[in-house]
Structure 1
Amino acid sequence: MAADPCRPDGRGEWLRFAPVQPLFRARAAQRLAVLAYHGVTDPRSFGAQLDRLRRLATPVSLDAVQQAVTERRPLPPRSVLVTFDDADRSVLTHALPALNDRGIPAAAFVISELIGTERPFWWHEADFLARHGGRARSLDCGHPSQLLRRLKAMPDPDRRRSLHELRVSADRRPPRQEQLTPADLLALRAGGVAIGNHTQGHPCLGRCDDVTVRAEITGAHEALTHWLGEPPVAFAYPDGGHDPRAEAVLQELGYRLGFLSDHRLGPRLPHHPLQISRLQVDSTTSTRRFDTILSGLEPAYRRWRGHAVA
């Protein structure tokens, strides 16, 4: 089987030298690149990526994107917005200093029910519990590597019930994970990282009923408004997929921007402000592969090969 040039093990870096890369880079200059990170596990590599952005692109803020939408005026060429989903503590401890050192703004999308707690993300908890004897009726068959995929595919009540069964049956409790506090959110905002809504508990909205979709968004909205002293105006869809019911709730609440994780570039003036494309990237990504993601070549190759975007 041919090597996959999109794998992060270095075998895909030849894409940077593909003859079409200059064409993709020129096209990308007229597009908006929104980078979707999660945590920052490799601060040195992340810093190299930010240095690359300063040389190749025009970093913009969430406010700048909102202003472009409001005024119907395209962003500058080569505009790039840095975002973080889930907002674990590495956004504060690793990302914020690196961003501030280079004068690059960003946005972080927060799971509100974790703020001020030591609870792990539910997908980390499920994996740990399954590896320590946890069992659930809906998860008794299949390879353990498929656990997360199967949980995400369940209707939300079944996912919650399966998590409860894993907790009750596991031999050990998962280690605690220190999360951001309300004070940390204010520190991030003061440092140029805008705070956005990522629901209360990060369910797969497409597997939720209408009441749960509304509760997940409005509950997080109210909590963030209380902590920040102002309502958030941006939302990132959990797992990156658009949900029309969620968009309707966002419109009611006055949200101006909504972000997908579809691994695509978007127009410099977003056509659908509540459905803005983002590129998936990791702090460990090499600068060579980072270039091909930023240009849109790697995402285009993945779509051509039929790779799903998680």
Structure 2
Amino acid sequence: MPTTDRTAGGRRNIDALLRRSPLQPVFRARAARRLAVLAYHGVDDPAAFRAQMERLARTARPVGPDEVARAAEHRRPLPARSVLVTFDDGDRTVLTEALPVLARLGIPAAAYVITDLIGTDQPYWWTEAAHLVRHGARAEPLHGLGPTAAVRRLKDLADPERRRALAELRTTATRQAPRQRQLSRADLHTLADAGVAIGSHTASHPCLDRCADADLDAQLLGAHERLARWMGRPPTTFAYPNGNYDPRADRVLRTLGYRTGFLFDHRHAELAPAHRLRISRLRVNSHTGRDRFDTILSGLHPAVHRLRGGR
């Protein structure tokens, strides 16, 4: 059996053991008094995603970002078992795969988009970087690193250095990254008209805590102004790229009138979040298996993840 298959099988066995653990009912009862904000990206397994959403429709109380904002602003807790579905980056599968399911089940959601990519065929910078490294690209800060480690290192660099390293990768790779069709402005309206709130995920998705003041302001203001112009109203919900919170961004977002801001920290949130621009989210994928999905919703998986030193 290949190593990757054995690893995946081991993880499935652990997920099954966790779901059947005597701790699971305890965590599930506690989770009923917490807000679960699910942080997806694309939908690469439509059947599994449909099963996940059908489960939420049966057992949870789906809410939208405006309901979360009102609960935070008025300090009035949301109903028990509230869950908010979110998508980062604006992958087209949110439109083609997720939206039909969400609309059929009446589940509200939020999609956080990278405005520089709207209407283009540019790949995400991190998928581009991984592709370039796989095809022989070199950059001094990434010496000796494979694709995954190189992307992790790029996220840790000061943003000007990240951009220089990307430029170097592009000039040294034997093959450029394939193009990737992104959402259009019309697609954003289709999503919004069907109950998916369109939020900001910055202009180009840098890690904000690695940006200089002027660059941070430009990322937030540029994305905000574009979305306000495209949608006919300013966005009021935001997701931090890579989940990297920055107090400077918090101040700018408050000035711009944002009502909610979301992390990527694999934790439950409060039913009336005390820090409305720093709300926790749970990491999940469309291909997350049933056992792990259950323990993510209960909070048992996040707790074990933290005990193992996960971020």
* TM class, shorter-length: over 0.9
Map of 1:64 onto structure 2 = 67
- Correspondence 1:185 to 2:203: no
Query: Given the alignment of the two structures, is residue 159 of structure 1 paired with residue 162 of structure 2, yes or no?
Result: yes
AA at the equivalent of 1:218? L
Does the Cα contact within 8 Å between 2:15 and 2:291 map onto a contact in 1?
Answer: no
Amino acid of the structure 1 residue aligned with 2:41: H
Residue 277 of structure 2 aligns to a residue whose secondary structure is: coil
Task: Tell me the SS of whatever aligns to 2:87.
Answer: strand
Aligned to 2:223, which of 217, 220, 224?
220
Question: Deviation of residue 65 (structure 1)?
Answer: 1.1
Q: Does 1:235 align with 2:220?
A: no
Q: Which amino acid aligns with 1:206?
A: D
1:141 is the counterpart of 2:144: yes
Deviations 1:146-183 (A, max 9, x none): 11111111110010001001111212221110000010
Separation in 2, partners of 1:268, 1:51 = 22
> Quick check: 289-298 or 144-153, which moved more?
144-153
| Letter paired with 1:283 | S
Amino acid paired to 2:115: S
Q: Deviations over 1:19-67 (max 9, x none)?
A: 0111111111111000000000000000000111112210011121122
Q: Is the 8 A contact 2:134 2:146 kept in 1?
A: no
Report the residue type matching 2:309 in the other structure.
G
Paired with 1:126 and 1:186, the residues of 2 have a C-alpha distance of 30
The amino acid that maps onto 2:242 is D
Cα distance between partner residues in 2 of 1:264 and 1:7 = 24
Q: Distance in 2 between matches of 1:180 and 1:14?
A: 40
Q: Distance in 2 between matches of 1:270 and 1:192?
A: 22
2 CA distance for matches of 1:225 and 1:143? 39
Q: Is the 8 A contact 1:112 1:224 kept in 2?
A: yes
Q: Which amino acid aligns with 1:244?
A: P
1:198 aligns to what?
201
Counterpart residue identity of residue 198, structure 1:
H
Aligned runs of 1:1-310 on 2, under 5 Å?
Answer: 9-308=12-311
Distance in 2 separating the partners of 1:174 and 1:47: 31
* TM-score, with length taken from structure 1: 0.95
Determine helix, strand or coil for the equivalent of 2:130.
helix
Amino acid across the alignment from 1:266: A
TM-score normalised to structure 2 length: 0.95
Q: Partners in 2 of 1:56 and 1:85 — Cα distance?
A: 24
Which shifted more, 299-308 or 255-264?
299-308
Q: Percent identity?
A: 58
**Paired residue type of 1:238:** P
Q: List gaps (5 residues or longer) in structure 2.
A: 1-5
SS in 2 for 1:31: coil
Describe the superposition over 1:4-26 as per-residue Cα deviations: whole angstroms up to 9, x where unpaired.
99985453221111101111111
> Matches of 1:173 and 1:284 in 2, distance apart?
28
- Report the 3-state secondary structure (helix = DSSP H, G, I; strand = E; otherwise coil) of the residue aligned with 1:24: helix
Q: Take 1:207 and 1:80, find their aligned partners in 2: how far apart are those partners?
A: 31
Q: How big is the alpha-carbon RMSD for the aligned residues of Structure 1 and Structure 2?
A: 1.7
Separation in structure 2 between the aligned mates of residue 249 and residue 71 of structure 1, nearest angstrom? 22
Q: Which amino acid aligns with 2:287?
A: T
User: Structure 1: which amino acid aligns with 2:249?
Assistant: A
Query: What code does the residue aligned with 2:234 have?
Result: P
How many residues end up aligned between the 2 structures?
306
Post-superposition offset of 1:70: 3.0
CA distance in 1, matches of 2:174, 2:61: 50
